[in-house]
Structure 1
Amino acid sequence: MTRAEPESSPAAAAEPGFRRRLLDGMAETVRKHGYREATVADVVREARTSRRTFYEHFSSKQDCFIELLAERNSDTIRQIYQAVDPAAAWDIQVRQAIEAWIAASQHDPTITLAWIRDIPALGDDARELHRTTGDAFVTLIRNLTATPQFQSAELHPPSRAMATILYGGYRELIASTVEAGGDIGEIVDVAVETAIALIGPR
């Protein structure tokens, strides 16, 4: 027999801190076990709460995982926007954006890899996150290259299709580097070179 998990009152479960703890518990569980092997029991153990509390906030393990990744991706996009100085030279802006993207990915590479590899196979809700996040990154790339510095330097700001290629290529490069045990920081230069080759002067 195992010791029963502690029950929590509805009032306590409604506190905002429990949702945060559960999301952090999901992140720690994925780091330790990977998403596929993770269980709700693992998550509530890491969050130091109960199964009842979990299901008062999330409908399933997948629901919690999707919210965690949505939050992480939104944070990454915000960090990239904040890192870019729109008054800097265009090639410096390219480097600033890519360095911020890689730094955000490098901060928690296990979660980054789970986002890239696990989400596509998790059904309609996960596919919707995959689509909306892809759209947000493509919009980010196009917004960052729609400044006067890019327009006045005889450059080639990317179309939606070109921005999609950049986004997808970077995702795969990040994932394959993590899977090979490499340092994501080492791909900054090649990522910058690729972007400059695509949007730079012909």
Structure 2
Amino acid sequence: MSAAPIAYVVDDEPDVRQSLALLLRSVAIDVEAYASARDFLASFGGAKGRPAVLLLDVRMSEMSGMTLLECLRVEHPWLPVIMITGHGDIDMAVKAMKLGAKDFVTKPFKGQDMLDRVQEALRDSPSREDAAVAPQTKGPDARLDTLTAREREVFDRLVAGDANKTIAYDLGISIRTVESHRANIMGKLNAKSLVDLVLVSLER
């Protein structure tokens, strides 16, 4: 019998910790919750062969989630991390992904969306901590191949942080056309936000 998965929740807001714990336990995922990054580091000794994921708040006192993420890339690179923030932006998402985060979620989030992201991270989690020590590579995201040439142009400009108005002017098309392309891109890439598009771009 395979070991039950476990999720570590690190967030300085008690309500967030409680709601995430209830959500995850409802689908038989064990939960350990911590009020600070320091508390987590002091207690964490590895998942002992269990599929695991860390849900980590970006902004916390004493030690931020980004600082903890940097520490984990050295000490526990096998552990998939989902960053959570109420103040997400593209630059922060890019930095988190470059530091090794698996995903980036902004508050408020829908319960099912969070569960889907957690389950995906658990599927990618190695059954043993040392399984992820070897370098891993990812091929280009095949979903990008579904975009038309014009949609790909708009996609590249969106993830670069350009506004719809700027994209429309530079490409010689209307703002409404840009918005239409953006909607098509979001649908084809199963993206719910601009941050999701950035994550797809970083996987290329």
- Structure 1-normalised TM-score? 0.28
Between structures 1 and 2, the one with greater helix share: 1
Larger of the two Rg values belongs to structure: 1
Between structures 1 and 2, the one with greater strand share: 2
- Structure 2-normalised TM-score? 0.28
